[in-house]
Amino acid sequence: MNLADLPIFAICGHSGSGKTTLIEALLARLRGSGLAVAVAKFHAHRIDVDRPGKDSDRLFRAGADVFLQGPDEGFSRTLPAGRAPVLTLADLSRRYDLVLVEGRKPLPCAKVWLLGDGERRVPREFAGIVASLSRQADRAEITWNILQSWLPAQWRRPPAYGCVLIGGGSTRMGRPKHLLKSGGKTWLATTVARLAKVTQRVAVVGAGDVPRSMGEVVRLPDAPGLRGPLAGILAAMRWAPWATWLVAACDMPNVSEEALAWLLATRRPGVWATLPRGPGRRGVEPLLAHYDFRARGLLEDLAAEGRSAPSLIVDCPKVFAPEPPADLRAAWENVNTPEDLAR
């Protein structure tokens, strides 16, 4: 991913132009909209954020990266590690809905320029400026309106990929479910074809056999050391870490292009995953669902804790659990046994 494709927005201007004041005003609105926001502030000189003589300052000056954690807040102070700042901003975009940057004028991302006293125009050497705002302008209102249209569009820039999970044992069915046929086509072929209509690429994940006719489809093994559908989902997300994923299990023969398009349409700022909930059901369905690239961190945490049910991320406030429209609900019907198949 290019930095310009991520939700990174810069507030630029010369010293004293009002950058911090504007960001402070924007944060109240952004947080009120439920968005998780990070602010990256770049300095030209050494940063001094701790009092000399304090334990954390002594440890930092002794050569350690220092992380402070309290009951309601945390703080980190790190030494130069040879990484370019753009990598740090990309890392932040995996953990936040929006990254605001104060300063960093040459950054290749969208930005507003705050005109200082006596300044008439933006310096010509800086690109990506979507607006220049004088002190007399209502800077907070204008920038907020820019973000209202820019941020949703930015969230739709990552490619949408499809993932078909075929790694289950099919013990209750007695034969591989992805090779069952309807209308002369295997369920696997049907699911791949429907995903291909709404995504840019489809991968089949798992150790099951795949017909020769599907030899050009991307095949991925389950993530090593993991089990269940989490192993397949994480295999896909590790393979293409900047993609938005539509995940479909192989035992949902009624999956439709319309249902997949509805899932993809739930992609918006603040939604890291969409796990649909059936009518009157307490649980969610994680195997016909949408996973933004930010959801990978939630799933990796499950894997690290030895928990294998992707549905457990539903407790995160960034996970959306709506009921699908009534005319699409059949797409979420599982077929696990011969009795289900006959019905």
So where are the chain's domains? 3-155, 160-342
The pLDDT assigned to 172 comes to 77
* 51-to-54, 55, 60 alpha-carbon distances in Å: 6, 9, 11
- CATH placement of domain 3-155: 3.40.50.300
Q: Model pTM?
A: 0.88
> Does residue 262 or residue 341 have the better pLDDT?
262
Quick one: which of 211, 321, 331 has its CA closest to 266?
A: 321
Q: Mean of the pLDDT values across residues 271-287?
A: 87
- Could you tell me what percent of the chain has a pLDDT over 70? 93
Average pLDDT score, the chain: 88
The pLDDT assigned to 169 comes to 65
> Which residues lie closer than 8 Å to 18 by C-beta, 6 or more apart?
114, 135, 139
- Strands (DSSP E) along the chain, which ranges? 8-13, 37-41, 66-69, 74-77, 98-102, 110-114, 129-133, 160-165, 181-182, 185-186, 201-205, 218-220, 244-249, 273-274, 288-291, 319-320
Q: Which of 88-92, 144-148, 330-334 has the highest mean pLDDT?
A: 144-148
**Domain 160-342 fold:** Spore Coat Polysaccharide Biosynthesis Protein SpsA; Chain A (3.90.550)
Other CB atoms within a 10 A radius of the CB of residue 221 amount to 13
The pLDDT assigned to 273 comes to 98
Quick one: which of 339, 337, 335, 333 has its CA closest to 173?
A: 337
- The helix/strand/coil state of 221 is coil
The pLDDT assigned to 133 comes to 93
- Could you tell me what percent of the chain has a pLDDT over 90? 57
pLDDT tens-digit series, residues 247-259: 999 889 899 999 9
Is the pLDDT at 233 greater than 70? The verdict is yes
The pLDDT assigned to 211 comes to 85
Q: Mean of the pLDDT values across residues 13-26?
A: 91
Is the pLDDT at 294 greater than 70? The verdict is yes
Q: How confident is the model at residue 81 (pLDDT cuts 50, 70, 90)?
A: low
Is the pLDDT at 6 greater than 90? The verdict is yes
Is the pLDDT at 47 greater than 70? The verdict is no
The pLDDT assigned to 281 comes to 64
The pLDDT assigned to 43 comes to 62
Q: Specify the range with the lowest mean pLDDT, choosing from 107-111, 157-161, 182-186, 277-281.
A: 277-281
Look-up: residue for tokens 């295997």? 186
Q: How confident is the model at residue 86 (pLDDT cuts 50, 70, 90)?
A: very low
Quick one: which of 171, 173, 164, 170 has its CA closest to 210?
A: 164
**Cα–Cα distance measured from residue 148 to residue 16, given in angstroms and rounded to the nearest whole number:** 26
What is the Cα Rg of the chain in Å?
24
pLDDT tens-digit series, residues 200-214: 999 999 988 888 888
Residues making up the chain, counted from first to last: 343
Is the pLDDT at 82 greater than 60? The verdict is no
> Which residues lie closer than 8 Å to 87 by C-beta, 6 or more apart?
none
- The helix/strand/coil state of 291 is strand
The pLDDT assigned to 257 comes to 96
Strand order of the β-sheet with 201-205 is 218-220, 201-205, 160-165, 244-249, 288-291, 273-274, 319-320
Query: Phi and psi for 317 in degrees, rounded to 5?
Result: -65, -15
**Cα–Cα distance measured from residue 41 to residue 85, given in angstroms and rounded to the nearest whole number:** 11
Q: How confident is the model at residue 280 (pLDDT cuts 50, 70, 90)?
A: low
